[in-house]
């Protein structure tokens, strides 16, 4: 079993689970050889999946759902086998605008509306958690602000800010910190301040691949699960930053990456540095479990933005996060899993323990900034 | 000239861009605009309303086109993404050549075909030239390292050039390594011992 499995990724901090699985022997432990293929854009990565050049890929969590709802490009239905990272997004504005209060989305929304000028905000992709969190925040905290959301490749964000093509950005690390460093940007909120359990990246495959290749899919899921567990140990952080920083991976300074991994954000060029709890989660609190309700939330948001009938969109969206496959492939590890595959998103004010299949497990704090709860249960028929 | 298409080529390298333009002109009487990568892309596509956008598959700016295609609205969606999806063979050929095409106006496949064929042929040529160039460059680097290692051995052991080279080659054979690898190790050791 040494046939290499081609897997695609974009150079970002949250590509770490794949890089760690390949570099630190977690794939090998599962008898899997990963052949990592770096892509330059999300559309390229999606096309590589579509045409079978990679079997699996790190993917924006919104893409498989958008595809299922026939939004945007792409030819094949995709599905998410597991969540690779929660959060890690950063919203910030250029130095030509007044500073907004940090980490307080409500106050920042009011201050943004008070600027009373049209703004252009760059996001990595039209279908991304960055775009969704931004839209959710604007709708509820600054409904009257005039904001245009534009796609800008994240490595170009600092440059776009300096050239005056955009006024701000919502991106993943290390590109937010790089915009602070290179373009004098000021950070306003981390994505976790909008929704602290937002699925950011998933492991995506073409629909049906995991069922056609159960052996390899299982090995891949377990290797990534072990990789994220290793990453969750703070003792491994410095090693991780150094490996990710390498030229053949992210090719940016290790210090910048370490900042993201240790949840420290330099919110303006002259500081201060602020520690953001739950800034980005790779493993803790069932982070890897692909909850149907996470996909449901994405589906409901897309339905709202694109005028699609809601109950159908919700059902279609839920089906793209394959909690069933995750369960069966994680089972051999003997770890405890939740009994349900949906949860009420936004309903936990703190970490809580709940009974799982093999003993108690921890659900992490899960809140939206406006205190709303998204519970798909009433909308879905019991099965 | 109803057959004439408006085509945007996104290519930062001037010489390459001109080559592509020539190839497209041979394929028909088309209006071809060349854009460097980046900032102006979104604005120019809106202004020029091209029938077809050709872009290097590895260009990060592709995601910007994704948004433009979306902006035309889900109802009036003649916006085919990434070549005409109905022609899987053509799409595959394009991907393999490293070119992505965005059909902006719901153009019939038979009208795109000659244009794309020309572009694909040209892109193939580029990638071949690129890999040949990379190979030449690598060979040149290896040559340099071998020369430096040789010089070090000559000085250290007070022997001639040919003898130093033979010594290195024997070491490579004994250890089952490539000559440049052995040379690299010697150069590294020499740096430390300096």
Delimit the domains of chain B by residue range: 6-132, 134-193
Average pLDDT of chain A to the nearest whole number:
93
**Structural contact between residues A150 and A166, judged by C-beta atoms closer than 8 angstroms:** yes
Asked if residue A366 is part of any domain, the answer here is no
CATH topology assigned to domain B6-132: D-Maltodextrin-Binding Protein; domain 2 (3.40.190)
Same domain flag for A230 and A153: no
Does B58 touch chain A if contact means CB atoms closer than 8 Å? yes
pLDDT category, B102, cuts 50, 70, 90? low
Candidates A39, A66, A70, A73, partner chain B, best to mutate (most B CBs within 10 A): A73
Report pLDDT for A376.
84
Specify the 3-state DSSP secondary structure of A28. Answer: helix
Asked if residue A116 is part of any domain, the answer here is yes
B77 has pLDDT over 50: no
Neighbours of B130 (CB within 10 A): 11
Tell me the shortest Cα–Cα distance from B86 to chain A, in angstroms: 10
Same domain flag for A242 and A300: yes
Mean pLDDT on B161-173 = 92
Same domain flag for A32 and A139: no
Asked if residue A376 is part of any domain, the answer here is no
Cα(A222)–Cα(A199) distance, rounded to whole angstroms? 19
Tell me the shortest Cα–Cα distance from A340 to chain B, in angstroms: 35
List of chain A residues whose C-beta atoms are within 8 Å of the C-beta of residue B81 = 43, 72-74
Find the closest chain A residue to B102 by CA distance.
Answer: A73
B79 has pLDDT over 90: no
CATH topology assigned to domain B134-193: Arc Repressor Mutant, subunit A (1.10.10)
Give me the interface pTM, i.e. the ipTM.
Answer: 0.77
Same domain flag for A136 and A266: yes
A79 has pLDDT over 50: yes
Helices (H), A91-203: 105-115, 129-141, 157-162, 175-183, 191-194
Same domain flag for A188 and A43: no
Outline where DSSP puts E strands in chain A: 4-9, 33-38, 56-60, 78-87, 89-93, 119-123, 147-151, 168-172, 186-190, 199-206, 264-266, 273-275, 280-281, 352-356, 359-363
A233 has pLDDT over 90: yes
Asked if residue A210 is part of any domain, the answer here is yes
Same domain flag for A23 and A108: no
Same domain flag for A270 and A310: no
CB contact (8 A) between residue A126 and residue B66: yes
pLDDT category, B96, cuts 50, 70, 90? low
List of chain B residues whose C-beta atoms are within 8 Å of the C-beta of residue A73 = 66, 69, 81-82
The domain spanning residue A171 has which CATH number? 3.40.190.10
Does B89 touch chain A if contact means CB atoms closer than 8 Å? no
Residue whose tokens read 């309303």: B49
Cα(A327)–Cα(A357) distance, rounded to whole angstroms? 10
Instruction: Give the domain extent around A96.
Output: 87-197+262-278
pLDDT higher at A11 or A222: A222
Out of A150-159, A300-309, B5-14, B38-47, least confident range? B38-47
Same domain flag for A98 and A127: yes
Domain count of the fold of chain A: 2
Same domain flag for A30 and A76: yes
Average pLDDT of chain B to the nearest whole number:
75
Same domain flag for A55 and A108: no
Same domain flag for A99 and A185: yes
CA-wise closest residue to B82 among B45, B60, B54, B123: B54
Out of A169-173, A237-241, B71-75, least confident range? B71-75
Per-residue DSSP letter, A124: S
Same domain flag for A211 and A232: yes
Q: Provide the whole-model pTM.
A: 0.81
CB contact (8 A) between residue A306 and residue B69: no
Strand-pair category, A352-356 with A280-281: unpaired
């Amino acid at each position: 079993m040494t046939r290499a499995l081609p897997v695609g990724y974009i150079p970002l901090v949250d590509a770490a689970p794949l890089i760690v699985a390949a570099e630190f022997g977690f794939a090998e432990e599962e008898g899997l050889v990963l052949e990592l293929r770096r892509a330059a854009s999300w559309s390229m990565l999606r096309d590589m999946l579509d045409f079978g050049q990679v079997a699996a890929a790190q993917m924006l969590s919104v893409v498989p759902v958008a595809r299922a709802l026939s939004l945007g490009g792409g030819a094949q239905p995709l599905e998410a086998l597991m969540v690779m990272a929660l959060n890690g997004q950063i919203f910030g504005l250029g130095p030509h605008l007044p500073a907004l209060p940090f980490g307080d989305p409500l106050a920042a929304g009011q201050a943004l509306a008070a600027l009373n000028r049209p703004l252009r905000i760059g996001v990595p992709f039209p279908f991304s958690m960055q775009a969704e969190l931004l839209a959710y925040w604007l709708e509820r905290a600054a409904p009257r602000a005039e904001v245009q959301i534009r796609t800008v490749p994240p490595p170009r964000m600092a440059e776009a800010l300096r050239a005056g093509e955009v006024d701000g950005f919502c991106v993943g690390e290390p590109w937010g910190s790089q915009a602070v460093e290179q373009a004098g940007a000021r950070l306003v909120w981390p994505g976790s301040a909008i929704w602290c359990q937002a699925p950011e990246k998933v492991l995506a495959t073409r629909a049906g691949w995991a069922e056609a290749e159960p052996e390899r899919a299982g090995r891949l899921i377990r290797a990534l699960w072990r990789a994220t567990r290793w990453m969750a140990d703070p003792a491994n952080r410095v090693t991780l930053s150094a490996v990710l920083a390498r030229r053949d991976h992210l090719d940016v300074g290790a210090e910048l990456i370490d900042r993201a991994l240790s949840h420290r954000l330099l919110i303006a060029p002259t500081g201060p540095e602020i520690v953001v709890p739950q800034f980005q989660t790779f493993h803790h609190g069932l982070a890897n479990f692909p909850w149907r309700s996470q996909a449901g939330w994405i589906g409901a948001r897309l339905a709202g933005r694109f005028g699609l009938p809601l109950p159908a969109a919700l059902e279609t969206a839920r089906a793209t996060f394959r909690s069933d496959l995750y369960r069966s492939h994680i089972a051999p590890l003997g770890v405890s899993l939740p009994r349900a595959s949906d949860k009420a998103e936004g309903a936990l004010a703190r970490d809580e323990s709940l009974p799982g299949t093999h003993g108690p497990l921890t659900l992490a704090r899960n809140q939206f900034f406006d205190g709303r709860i998204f519970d798909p249960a009433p909308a879905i028929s019991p099965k | 000239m109803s057959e004439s298409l408006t085509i945007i080529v996104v290519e930062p390298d001037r010489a390459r861009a001109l080559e592509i333009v020539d190839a497209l002109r041979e394929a028909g009487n088309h209006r071809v605009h060349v854009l460097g990568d980046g900032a102006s892309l979104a604005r120019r596509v809106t202004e020029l309303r091209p029938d077809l956008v050709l872009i290097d598959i590895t260009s990060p700016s592709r995601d910007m086109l994704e948004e433009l295609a979306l902006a035309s609205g889900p109802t009036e969606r003649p916006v085919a993404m990434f070549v005409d999806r109905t022609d899987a063979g053509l799409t595959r050929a394009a991907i393999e050549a490293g070119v992505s095409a965005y059909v902006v106006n719901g153009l019939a496949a038979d009208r795109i075909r000659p244009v794309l064929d020309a572009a694909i042929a040209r892109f193939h040529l580029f990638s071949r030239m690129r890999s040949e160039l990379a190979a030449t460059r690598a060979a040149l680097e290896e040559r340099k390292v071998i020369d430096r290692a040789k010089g070090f051995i000559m000085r250290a052991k007070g022997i001639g050039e040919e003898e130093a080279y033979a010594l290195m080659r024997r070491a490579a054979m004994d250890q089952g390594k490539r000559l440049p690898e052995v040379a690299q190790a010697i150069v590294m050791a020499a740096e430390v011992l300096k």
